[in-house]
Amino acid sequence: MESVIIAPEKQRRRPKVSCILCRKRKTRCNRERPCSSCRRSRTGNCVYEDVSPFPSSPRHYPTPESQGPIRLGDVSSSSSHPSQTQATSWSDASKSSENVSQDYEKAQLKRRIRQLEDQLSHAVPEPVNDPAPDSNYTRCFGLAGRTFRLLYKRGAPEQPEPIAHNLSHKSRLFGQSHWVVSVAYLILDYFNILDSYVQDQRSEGWAGIEKCKLIARRIKMRRAPPWPSPPTSELPSRTISDALVHQYLQKTESLYRILHIPTFRREYEELWVPGKARDINFLIQLKLVLAIGAVTYDDQFSLRTSAIRWVYEAQIWISGPKYKARLNFQAMQTNLLLLFAQEQVGVSGDLPWISAGALLRKAIYMGLHRDPSHLPQRTLFEVEMHRRIWNTILELNIQSSLTSGGPVLISLDDFDTSPPRNFDDDQLEVQNPIPSSSEEMTQTSFAIALRRTFPPRVAVVKFLNDLSSHGTYKETLQLDAKLRTAYRELGRTLRACKKSTGSSLSSHYETKAVDFLMHRYFCALHIPYFGPALRGTTYAYSQKAVVESSLKLWRTAWPASTTHASDTNLFDDSDFPRLIACSSGFYPSATIHAAAIIGLELRSQLQEDNICPAPLRPDLLSVLQEAKEWCLKVMEAGETSVMGYLLISLVAADVQRIMGGFGEDKIPELLIKAVEEVGEKCLPILEQMEAIQDQSTDLADELHRATPADITEDWDFMTSDAFLDLGGTEPMSWIFNDDFNPGMPLF
């Protein structure tokens, strides 16, 4: 009988109700899960095909092998020769049913993903092209199969166009001070060009990025200790511990007052007395101090694995159920240290904004928001520690709000606690001390000076992120004037301060840190108008303010002298650039965003239609190449994300295109080349990092010595299954994934 070939599209779409193995064996299926035949045979899993074909797609068949046409002659011969049918059936059954099921499930899953992506791309609403002149509106755009909604708000009728106010994606809402709201839409044209390219998994450039992501994921998993990690009595050697404590006291504690240094040093010395019992509360504090100090210990953050372990131990200890015992100054100090350590060391968990908000409420419950003068009489030590801790809590809340784009949720009317007074720590232990004048440098001078700028800074964050904010440009200029007045006063105060005789304060470090922080606020205030300023002159002042503040941020992270410095002398004596390069969170994210803004400014200048275009500023032009080099240095110091390097490479490629006189038709080629460069430059660094990870872990273990007595008996612990969740792996998930949150925003 001659075989007749019927094309797949001509066949009827009869639903398949039997399981896969029953259809292959041509046996009756009772449609249970598992079916009776599979239960009797015990040859593998019972898998049903759940076919929901997309209307425009061709017919799909049960297995990848059966995608071709069906021959009626084969069917007829099978019907007329039962022995042959049985032999074929048993031959099929002899195959590994698990492999068949797995192969089919993979094929079906890939097919379903393509269908959903196609459906989603058709479901994304079209952007509003001509909104009403006095209305707010939302623009929706799709990116890598995801939907994003960017809300624009019109602050006043005289403003020429609405300003991007927030961006929503899934269950997240990013406020205006978050970098993505005002910067991401400036580079969406890059991602739109690359979108179809990165979806092609066979592309060489994307394959390199995927390899980087996989290696980075393995490195981070191996760095993390098992969860839960109960606190132990292990500590580094005395020499290393002394160095790490010194780093913390000279860097973090000099800006954000948390500890009373003489008390801390006494307890620290007692810790090393042979045979003396160790206080677990102080031991947890010390490990957090060591973790923060390890960030600036050396240029490579060589103690990163140990620092992560110390933070894990502290998280377990703090999460214990001893509620009432934790409402005291020591517990508040430990909570503050944990927040700093989590962000700087890069340990995942709740967003810093969420954790800082919880700590704020705990502090209010303890009455720290009320000045001690309104509370029962206390000693001078208790009064000043009360004010110092509350002051640091305020700083943490406003900084996390700025970074995350969330409302600050506190106003100047919500507390009356005065700023700390200008005392050195040892003065708090004597009778009736006299505070130093504002022109004298003490261990609290920088915290006091920064507190004076708190009102205009909190006004900026409220203006950007509060729901009721009108967001007019007139208000922006008013806030700018107040912030600059506070900035100038801060500079006069710090210049007038004289270092106390015998003081070990490193004022150069603190000055750079305070200056970096203030320029971050200037940049956040004006950056919503940076994009519109590229298309007109109305917001020219904001454009200039953003560029100058971004350049200031960049030069703090990468001093001009670094350009000609050797690899062994990457950072200056202040160690602040080392903190930016080795830490996670606020500092490195602000740095890479500043470099990206400078690149976009260069692109804008090159695109201006001038008869005689002005030459590009050399100080701006050099940033793009320096930023790529900085990203590689940061990775050599232990960073595993390649996003910063990719972002700068895309912007630099477009700038070089315009400088070379190429048209827009050259953009895809150059962007694809920039994507490929990421794998070429970053992959070897990550591979080397992974190769030496075992050796580094062994060295870190040798730094610890355990005492005979264990301190982990009879403890209750609270664990979280999602604590080590590393997020999704779909293409371009690095744009808006969990790692990009403010505590960890892009790195």
> Looking at this protein, which amino acid is placed at residue 149?
R
Residue 669 contacts by C-beta under 8 Å, 6 or more apart in sequence? none
Confidence of residue 464 (pLDDT cuts 50, 70, 90): very high
Determine how many CB atoms are found less than 10 A away from the CB of residue 613. 11
CA-to-CA distance for 624 and 446, rounded, in angstroms?
A: 33
C-alpha to C-alpha distance for 42 and 21, rounded to whole angstroms = 11
Instruction: Please report, for residues 13, 60, 112, 339, the alpha-carbon distance to residue 9 in angstroms, rounded to integers and kept in the order given.
Output: 9, 10, 19, 61
Structure confidence at residue 6 (pLDDT): 47
pLDDT tens across 528-567, in order?
888 888 877 888 999 999 999 999 999 999 987 555 444 4
* CA neighbours closer than 13 Å in the CB half-sphere of residue 647: 28
> What are 149's strand-pairing partners?
140, 168
Neighbours of 132 (CB within 10 A): 9
pLDDT at 519: 97
In the three-class reduction of DSSP (H, G, I as helix; E, B as strand; rest coil), residue 299 is classed as coil
47-51, 198-202, 518-522, 691-695: which range is least confident on average?
198-202
Name the 3-class secondary structure at 717: coil
Label the pairing between strands 5-6 and 70-71.
antiparallel
Residue 169 phi/psi, 5° resolution?
-150, 120
DSSP secondary structure string, 342-367? HHHHT--SS-HHHHHHHHHHHHHHTT
First to last CA, the chain: 67
Q: What is the pTM of this model?
A: 0.75
Tracing tokens 């003068």 back to the chain, one arrives at: 373
Distance CA 532, CA 543 (A): 9
Q: How confident is the model at residue 108 (pLDDT cuts 50, 70, 90)?
A: low
Tell me if residue 173 falls in helix, strand or coil: strand
* CB neighbours of residue 162 within 10 Å: 20
Both tokens assigned to 145: 């199969």
**Among 171-175, 204-208, 712-716, the least confident range:** 712-716
- Domains in the chain: boundaries: 180-223+533-559+574-701
DSSP-assigned letters across all residues of 246-269: HHHHHHHHHHS--S-HHHHHHHHH
Q: Which of 139, 206, 113 is nearest to 673 (CA)?
A: 206
Predicted pLDDT of residue 255: 93
Is the predicted pLDDT of residue 724 greater than 60, yes or no?
no
Q: What percent of the chain has pLDDT over 90?
A: 43
At a CB cut-off of 8 Å and minimum separation 6, what does 65 contact?
Answer: none
Q: Please state, rounded to an integer, the average pLDDT across all residues of the chain.
A: 77
- Lowest-confidence segment of 143-152, 627-636, 731-740 by average pLDDT: 731-740
Taking residue 596's Cβ as centre, other Cβ atoms within 10 Å add up to 25
The answer on pLDDT for 293 being more than 80 is: yes
R_g over Cα of the chain: 31
The Cα 189–Cα 651 span in angstroms is 11
Taking the C-alpha atoms of residue 631 and residue 642, their distance in angstroms, rounded to an integer, is 8
Contact between 216 and 689 (Cβ < 8 Å): no
Cβ-contact 183, 527 below 8 angstroms: yes
At 156 the pLDDT is 66
598 and 623 Cβ atoms separated by less than 8 Å:
yes
- Of residues 266 and 176, more confidence is placed in 266
Query: What span, in angstroms and rounded, lies between the C-alpha atoms of 470 and 153?
Result: 8
Most confident of 54-58, 324-328, 589-593: 589-593
Please give the Cα distance from 363 to 49 (Å, whole number).
Answer: 57
**Residues 139 and 163: beta-carbon distance below 8 Å:** no
Q: For 28-40, how does the pLDDT look when each residue is reduced to its tens digit (9 = 90+)?
A: 888 787 787 777 7
pLDDT at 357: 93
For the segment 307-329, the average pLDDT, to the nearest whole number, is 84
Q: What is the pLDDT of residue 561?
A: 59
**The predicted structure's pLDDT at residue 487:** 96
Task: Confirm if 619 and 338 have CB atoms less than 8 A apart.
Answer: no
Q: Find all residues with CB under 8 Å of 219, minimum gap 6, and list them.
A: 640, 686, 689, 690, 693
**Best-predicted range by mean pLDDT (251-265, 484-498, 733-747):** 251-265
Q: How far apart, in whole angstroms, are the C-alpha atoms of residue 279 and residue 300?
A: 32
Per-residue confidence band for 162, with pLDDT thresholds at 50, 70 and 90: confident
Count CB-CB contacts under 10 A for residue 661.
Answer: 7
